[in-house]
Amino acid sequence: MAKNPRDGSGVVIIKKYANRRLYNTETSSYITLEHLATMVREGREFQVLDARTDEDITRSVLTQIIMDEEARGQTMLPVNFLRQLISMYGDSMQSMVPQYLEASMEAFRKNQAQFHKAMEGAFAGGPFAEIARRNMEMFEAAASAFKPKLKAAPEAKDDEIATLKAQMAELQSKIERLG
């Protein structure tokens, strides 16, 4: 069992009660799944325990957060990916899938960080500075599409999506030309 952050472990213990309420033992307050999602984005480590049995239910709570995000239209998991993932359950390779997915996500995050660093270096000057600045603007616009926004009118949202798609296509063609 993980230690409470008050004793120096850094892992926040969240208790989940039968009434589905989540209790943060660090702040001594009830929280929501949205609070937990924010903690994940901030890089805060937490463990969710069933208040009655002390069973670690972190995985199911994180899965619930993903389901809520997907239901809200923040889709990130393509249907084909989900089907392939489901088909791996019971497969002889099932035990290797978690490590593969973790390594893939870590590589994605590293590539994202390297891309940002390369773009920042290109701003210092040189023949590609202007191209890098525009690419960075497009990349940030595309990345912002994955962040929650205030509700906009449906027409504005459609226009924004069309603009982002065009920017993504332009960025992709530039990347292909550079590669």
**Both structure tokens of 72:** 């809200």
pLDDT score at 44: 95
| DSSP H/E element including 48 | strand 46-50
List, for residues 150-173, the tens digit of each pLDDT value.
555 567 778 888 888 888 888 888
| DSSP H/E element including 173 | helix 154-178
List, for residues 58-70, the tens digit of each pLDDT value.
999 999 999 999 9
pLDDT score at 94: 87
Q: Interhelix angle for 33-41 vs 58-71, to 10°?
A: 100
pLDDT score at 105: 87
* 3-state SS, residue 5: helix
CA gap 9, 1 in Å, rounded: 11
Question: Exposed e or buried b for every residue in 114-144, given b needs 16+ CB within 10 A?
Answer: eeeeebeebeeeeeeeeebeebbebbeeeee
Q: How many CA atoms lie within 13 A of 99 on its CB side?
A: 4
pLDDT score at 6: 43
Structural domain boundaries in the chain = 5-76, 123-178
* Residues with pLDDT less than 50, the chain: 1-8
Q: Which of 147, 146, 145, 121 is nearest to 133 (CA)?
A: 121
**This prediction's pTM:** 0.58
pLDDT score at 179: 67
